[in-house]
Amino acid sequence: MANNAYTIGENLSEFKEEIQVNLNQGYDLTSTAYGGDGSWVGLYQDTPNNTGFVSVSNADELLQIVQQGWEQGYSLVDVEYGDGILFGTFEQDYGTNALTTATSFTELKQDISERWDKGYELVDVEYGDGIWFGTYQDVPGNSAWNHSNSADEFIQAVEQRWEQGYDLVDVEYGDGIWFGTFQEDSSITSGYVGGSTFDELLGNFQQFGNQGWELVDVEYGDGGWLGVVEQKTPQNAFENPTLYPLATELGIQQNVLLQDTLNFYNSATYW
Query: Is residue 252 over pLDDT 60?
Result: no
Q: How far is CA 271 from CA 39, 46, 84, 211, in A?
A: 31, 28, 37, 16
pLDDT in tens, 31-41: 999 998 899 99
* Residue 56 pLDDT: 94
pLDDT in tens, 163-204: 999 999 999 999 999 999 998 887 888 889 989 999 999 999
Q: What percent of the chain has pLDDT over 90?
A: 43
- Among positive and negative, which fits the CA dihedral 253, 259, 260, 264? positive
- Range among 3-7, 156-160, 264-268 rated most confident: 156-160
Residues 6+ apart with CB under 8 A from 168: 158, 161, 162, 180, 181, 182, 190, 191, 192, 228
Band the pLDDT of 9: cuts 50, 70, 90: very high
* Residue 142 pLDDT: 83
Q: Which of 24-33, 114-123, 247-256 has the lowest mean pLDDT?
A: 247-256
* Residue 212 pLDDT: 79
Residues 6+ apart with CB under 8 A from 113: none
Contact present, 108 and 125 (Cβ < 8 Å) = yes
Alpha-carbon gap, residue 176 to 231, rounded angstroms: 29
The neighbouring-strand residues paired with 254 are: none
Q: Is 163 exposed, middle or buried (0-12, 13-18, 19+ CB in 10 A)?
A: exposed
Which residue has better confidence, 187 or 246?
187
pLDDT in tens, 140-154: 678 899 999 988 899
E-state strands within 175-232:
177-183, 189-195, 214-221, 224-231
Residue 146 is inside which H or E element, if any? Answer: strand 143-148
Q: What percent of the chain has pLDDT over 70?
A: 81
Alpha-carbon gap, residue 34 to 28, rounded angstroms: 18
Closest CA to 179 of 217, 215, 229: 217
Mean predicted lDDT score pLDDT of the chain = 81
Contact present, 212 and 149 (Cβ < 8 Å) = no
Query: Is residue 243 over pLDDT 60?
Result: no
Query: Is residue 112 over pLDDT 80?
Result: yes
